[in-house]
Amino acid sequence: MEKSLNFIEQIVEDDLAAGVNDGRIQTRFPPEPNGYLHIGHAKAVCIDFGIAERYNGTCNLRFDDTNPVKEDVEYVDSIMEDIKWLGYKWNNVYYASDYFQQLWDLAVRFINEGKAYVDEQSSEIIAQQKGTPTVAGTESPYRNRSVQENLDLFMKMSAGEIPDGKMVLRAKIDMASPNMHFRDPILYRVITTHPHHRTGYTWKVYPMYDFAHGQSDYFEGVTHSICTLEFVVHRPLYDWFIDQFKETEYRPKQIEFNRLNITYTVMSKRKMLQLVQEGLVSGWDDPRMPTLCGLRRRGYSPESIHNFIDKIGYTKVEGIIDLGLLEHAVREELNKTSTRVSAVINPVKLIITNYPEGKTEMMEAVNNPEDENSGTHTIAFTRELWMEREDFMEEAPKKFFRMTPGQEVRLKSAYIVKCTGCKKDEDGNITEVYAEYDPLTKSGMPDANRKVKGTLHWLSAAHSLPAEVRLYDRLFSVENPSADERDFRELINPGSLEVKTNCYVEEYLKDAQPLDRFQFQRIGYFNVDSDSTAEKLVFNRTVSLKDSWAKEQNK
């Protein structure tokens, strides 16, 4: 069945059908370069670029760089990298700063037309005069200066003769408007003390968002300006500005969708910056972060992000997505694509007492049972093995289908073995587990088809590589940190990172490179961290496998 259109696609198709803009479709992705892109931005990237792709239009990348105080090239670079990683190509890269001259000219035009004035009150006074949502504002005493005086003052502002914060250019609209954004919004402010990342100290005045965004859309020929719901109240002003100077029937149309929220995380650049600056995470690319670079380092593939975005949809309803859905999206994709390997995270020795000492057999391991073209690789089997400590219980409940005295289990890709006992130290800790193998049950042999309840993964002690494994979990311990009255930093999950240093992986992973993704059989999906070296392999857990045994135990 054809997937139904979301409301944005519906609007675009309606416009196409009506012949709006002669069938031309143009969108833009307009990030402010003041932070790293996160999964919420990915949702926006996918609709902006996706609409252009689907309807044979163009999508440009435009940096909304109108506030030099917060912006930096570091962010420009990372944003471009992340968009490319998601698999999109922009038509052009633009910057709002490309339009500073045009916008300034427009501001002068507004002054000449009596639609803008220079206010020299403090920001506090201006805020007071703005009124409140239920109380009308009052007019500035500077509101009715002459055009010439306004022009002179704006020239002084622009020449750097006015200190920061002393004067602003405001639109003259309606201080009593029920829409707060019409109460003489600020158009330009003076910033002389911060260099702009592209224009340096050339400009002394910078346009505000409302005077830059819609105008930039117009200058570029954007037809559908897609953004998030918090800009709904800006739309009348967006339209009003364009009405003041548009020269033809063309106009960009702003459409707003619900921003992405996910349980157990935060989706605010401000909070992410705080986490980074206060060292609560290791950086913007900490694998616990919802940033795209964080998810990438965690092991998420671009396909898994797309898979997730496809599932959540675009509407105008504000909600919160279950983190489980994101995890499902990545599992679904990695299940189809990742090579299965063996790794033991919490090792204990397993001795096959009737297996000859010194003997080594190379067993054939299927790379991916979900992909018949994925082939096989070999894994060494010997008398002394590593197994997971959790896979042995001296006294086990009935439903424990693993290693326990007297019970048979299958060693994946090798033999069926029967547990015979274990050895403990004086504190009662299990130091070795013993089992006997059945030589006729090697994988592929007829007897290997015997029904055995459990299958365990294992590693030859003499043939395994030491590794560090970082087990990541949700960053916050409450579902919705943003809705909690406590400071979000107090809500960080203390178990969000568990480092396991005493792990082993099979030799097949000897040459694994950073970002390579694998399934550690029976455990989860893991990828190689950027900290990994040939001497010391480091893996990150992307997500665990679904674990119905754990669920059973929690009952």
Residues 204 to 233: which contact RNA by CB under 7 A? 206, 208-209, 212-213, 229-233
Within 8 A by CB and 6+ apart from 549, the residues are: none
* Contacts by 141-150, CB closer than 8 A, 24 or more apart: 142/117, 142/118, 143/117, 143/119, 143/172, 143/184, 144/117, 145/117, 145/118, 147/111, 147/112, 147/114, 149/118, 150/111, 150/116, 150/117, 150/118
Nearest distance from residue 258's CB to RNA, in Å?
5
Tell me: does residue 186 bind RNA (CB under 7 A): yes
User: Cα separation of 81 and 501, whole Å?
Assistant: 32
From 259, 389, 500, 522, active-site residue: 259
| Residue from the set 64, 333, 506, 529 that interacts with RNA by CB under 7 A | 64
Q: What are the φ and ψ backbone dihedral angles of 326, each rounded to 5 degrees?
A: -65, -40
Give Cα separations from 432 to 71, 145, 417 (angstroms). Answer: 58, 90, 15
Interface mask toward RNA for 456-485; x: CB under 7 A: xx----------------------------
Which residue, 114 or 165, has its beta carbon nearer to RNA?
165
Which residue, 37 or 208, has its beta carbon nearer to RNA?
208
Within 8 A by CB and 6+ apart from 294, the residues are: 284, 285, 286, 287, 288
Tell me: does residue 314 bind RNA (CB under 7 A): yes
Residue of 524, 419, 506, 409 whose CA lies nearest to 467: 506
Which residue, 282 or 346, has its beta carbon nearer to RNA?
346
Nearest distance from residue 60's CB to RNA, in Å?
15
Residue of 542, 86, 478, 475 whose CA lies nearest to 272: 475
Which residue, 256 or 286, has its beta carbon nearer to RNA?
256
Nearest distance from residue 72's CB to RNA, in Å?
13
Active site residue 259: yes
| Residue from the set 58, 67, 140, 225 that interacts with RNA by CB under 7 A | 67
Residue written as tokens 């088809």?
449
Nearest distance from residue 440's CB to RNA, in Å?
11
- Convert 15-82 into a string of H (helix), E (strand) and C (coil): HHHHCHHHHCCEEEECCCCCCCCEHHHHHHHHHHHHHHHHCCCEEEEEECCCCCCCCCHHHHHHHHHH
Tell me: does residue 311 bind RNA (CB under 7 A): yes
Which residue, 123 or 244, has its beta carbon nearer to RNA?
123
Nearest distance from residue 67's CB to RNA, in Å?
4
Tell me: does residue 521 bind RNA (CB under 7 A): yes
Nearest distance from residue 327's CB to RNA, in Å?
8
Which residue, 58 or 413, has its beta carbon nearer to RNA?
413
From 9, 24, 32, 161, active-site residue: 32
* Residue 36 and residue 273 in contact, taking contact as beta carbons nearer than 8 Å: no
Residue type, 503: C
| Residue from the set 54, 84, 109, 166 that interacts with RNA by CB under 7 A | 166
| Residue from the set 196, 204, 288, 340 that interacts with RNA by CB under 7 A | 340
Residue type, 514: P
Of residues 242-281, those binding RNA (CB under 7 A): 258
Nearest distance from residue 17's CB to RNA, in Å?
11
Tell me: does residue 401 bind RNA (CB under 7 A): yes
Taken in order 226, 227, 233, 234, the sign of the CA dihedral is: negative
Tell me: does residue 522 bind RNA (CB under 7 A): yes
Active site residue 269: yes
Which residue, 119 or 285, has its beta carbon nearer to RNA?
119
Tell me which stretch binds RNA (CB under 7 A): 194-202, 274-282, 297-305, 315-323: 315-323
- Convert 107-155 into a string of H (helix), E (strand) and C (coil): HHHHHHCCCEEEECCCHHHHHHHCCECCECCCCCCCCCCCHHHHHHHHH
Of residues 121-150, those binding RNA (CB under 7 A): 121-123, 126-127, 130-136
Which residue, 4 or 248, has its beta carbon nearer to RNA?
4
Nearest distance from residue 263's CB to RNA, in Å?
8
Measured from the Cβ of residue 114, the count of other Cβ atoms closer than 10 Å reads 12
Q: List active site positions.
A: 32, 259, 269
